[in-house]
Structure formats: C-alpha cells, structure tokens
A and B are shown apart, each in its own frame.
Chain A
Amino acid sequence: MKIDPIHQFNIEPLFTLGHIGNHTIAFTNSSLYMLVAVAIISILMLASGTQLVPGRLQSVAEISYEFVASTIRSTAGAEGMKFFPLIFSLFMFICVSNLVGIIPYTFTVSSHLIVTVGLALLVFFTVLIYGVAKNGLKFFSIFVPHGVPGYILPLVMFIEILSFFLRPVSHSIRLFANMLAGHIALKVFAGFVAMLGFSLGAIGWVGGVLPLALTIALYALEILVAFLQAYVFAILTCIYLNDAIHPGH
C-alpha cells in the first residue's frame, strides 16, 4: 500500500480532437470535468423555474445571482455590473468545479496551473484592454498614486507597475496552490488510514481513527476552501476591474 497523492492530478486523454502545430489537442478528463461544471451551472440556472415563491433549486440560483451582483456593486460600483456575466461565469465555474473536485475519485480542474493562469490572464487582459479603451492614457495614472513626494515617486511607480504585472501570477497561483495543497493533504491523511490498517492489522485500524478524524476535519475545511477560493478569485477580479473603471482612485 503506497500513498500516491499526485496520481489524482494526472491528465488522461480520452480522445483526440485534432492538432495545432506540434501539439495534440485531446479531450481529457480535465475537459470532461469542465463540461460537467458547465452542465451543472446551466442546469442550476436554467432549469430552476421563475416562480414568484422560489423552490429550493431556484433559491440557490437566485442566491448565487444576488451574491455575485452584490459583490460587484460593493467593490466596483454600479458600473461594474457591465462585467456581471464575466464575473458570474468565473465565480460559478471555479466554485462548481472545486466542489465537484472534492468528491472522491473526481478530478479538480482548478488544481492545474495552466487553467488558473488562463483565467487570470483573461481577467488581466480584460482589465488592461477595457481600461485603455475607456480611459485612454489616463488609465496608466493607476501607477502614480496621489500625494507621494517627488523624490520617492519613481520607486513607488516601479513597485506599482511591477505589482500590476504580477497580478495574474498571484491571482492564478493562489487558486491553484490552494486546491493542489488541499487535495494532496486530504489524500495523504486518507491514505494513511489505509496504510496503517494494511500494515499493522487490528492495531493499525484502531490507530487509523486519528488520521480518519483529521481527514474528516480537512474535508470540511476543503469544502470551505473550495467556495472561498472561488469568492476570492471573483472579488479580486472585481477589484482589478474597478481600477479599469475608476483609474483615479
């Protein structure tokens, strides 16, 4: 009995879609779970009815809607509602794929850096392009904070520019690392229960109670993290978009 906490992150091609240059484009298990997430969100949002007094499914759909809408309004103002579909898609996609990924034997889409980088770059370029298109060169005033003495300004501007371009890095790695670390920890502790039992017999099974309890506690924490990381990703997107909408602040 070996603990292999990395196996769960393997990408398994299911069938090949085509080729771009040297790269083989395959429909992988990751693609399948992206499809699952899209399907769950679509069912939740579209099959939930529009009754005056909402049922359970409709309540969930409406709470998601109101939750994301109020997050945008409080961080990016009423103008931020232009990006409601984008932020809602991001939040729901990450949240649902995280929650699906926490079910044993499934695959977690956001545990792969390339996926979170893709989403973070989407946000980064949306902010950059919308900011320049809306405000022109004034957009770059976000690099020049108000009330900074002249002699220190070059240094502050350097830091501001650096942090702006590092945003997609932190934005993507935060989500990726959280999901990766959580799943590895879960796998290690859960595997520990079985390893103890198989190698030490009855004593091992009794001793396995401790790591089992830890696994259960971690599992609850991971459910929270799954939701929280989606929320963090969404709220950071709102904050970055706020820069593009109101570069003066």
Chain B
Amino acid sequence: MTEEVRTEFHQLMEEVRADLVQMGGMVAEGVSAVTAALLAGDIASADQIITADDELDLLSLEAEEKCVQLLALQQPVAVDLRAILTDLRMISEIERSGDLVTNIAKAVVRLLGAELVPRVRGLLDRMREQAVRLTAMAMDAYADRDAGLAAVLDEIDDVLDDLHGQYLDAVFASQNAGHIDTQQAVQLAVVGRFYERIGDHAVNIAQRVEFLVTGQLPEHIGANRARARREQDEM
C-alpha cells in the first residue's frame, strides 16, 4: 500500500470505530430511556424509542458497508483484517441489543395499566443500571483495545444474571399476591429476559475484543478439544 492509500485506509477504519462507539451510546441511552418509559407507563416515549431504532439500523448498515469496502478494496492482512472482522461481528451484536431495546418498548404498550410493585420497579432499575454499565464497559474495552477489561466482563455479567433471577421471583410473587394477572407476569418475565440478553451481547462484544487483541476466542478451547477428538477417531 502506498502511504496515501494507507492513510485513507486507517481513516475509514477510524470512522467505523467512531460509528460503533456511537451505536454503543445509542444502545446505552436506549436502555435508560426505555426503562424510564416502562416505569412511567409512557407510551409516547416508547413509540419514540421504537422509531429511534431505525437510526441505529441505518448506522449499522453504513458501518457494514464501510467494512465491506475496506475488505474488498484494500485486502487487509493480519491485525487489520482481524480488526475489520471484529467490527463486522460487533455491528450485528450492537444492532441486536438495539432490537432488544425496541422489544422492551413494545412491551411498554402491552403492560399499560399493570401495577408494578416497588420491588419489581427497583429490580428493573438495577437491571437497567447493569445493562448500561456492561454495554459502556464493552465499548470501552473495544475503543481502547483493552483485553484485560474485556476478560472480566463475563464475570461482571453474573451480577445481571443474578438480578434477573431475583426479578423473576419478584414478578411471580407479585402475580401470586394478585397485583398482576398471568399475562402481565409473562410479559414482565420476557422483559427481564431482554435485559439479560443485552448483557450477553455486551459479553459477546468483549470476547470479540479479546480475539482482536490476543487472537484467541473462548470457543477456541472447545474447538481444540473437538479437533483432538476428531484426530483420535481417525487414528
């Protein structure tokens, strides 16, 4: 690559990186906004959040196009290739988190009029806090190429998983106490699952960052085992 082409290449990669950080910000804000809408039963806000997801979809398509352009025109190798592959996988992870925010927004409408007891409200707020935190940390690890931070994210996600468990107990306790009907309880349980999934996507992003920095994925350990078994069978 000539010097000029290289600069252009890195500038485009930098743009993709900025796009991804922006998308992460949109998810973090989306989770906060949709939780506020859910707790306040605010349908107008929920509608706005559903519309705002189009923006995220557009941005992810644009970022994807940039990645394809980089792959097709510059034929990157080694670290650069890994970086673009990471970006491509990350785009879909963040985009999925955005869809989950939209799913929660749709549930706001279905849950209108449901009485959320303080314990359920408190746990929703704590799940919001953890989901936002995990997303921001994953984006931090990505933007700073911080494999160490990425490695601890999985453990931090346990907090959210634990809250999710407590939340389900609280929802069904509230149903048993007659505050909400079965349909509402199921809807609330599904909402809890969405928060938990947003955390999982953040962990996936962190794993991609680890791959980017170290060239290793957690799946590699399992894959190596499978490969060893296959070789043994052949012998």
Q: Do A and B belong to a common assembly? A: no
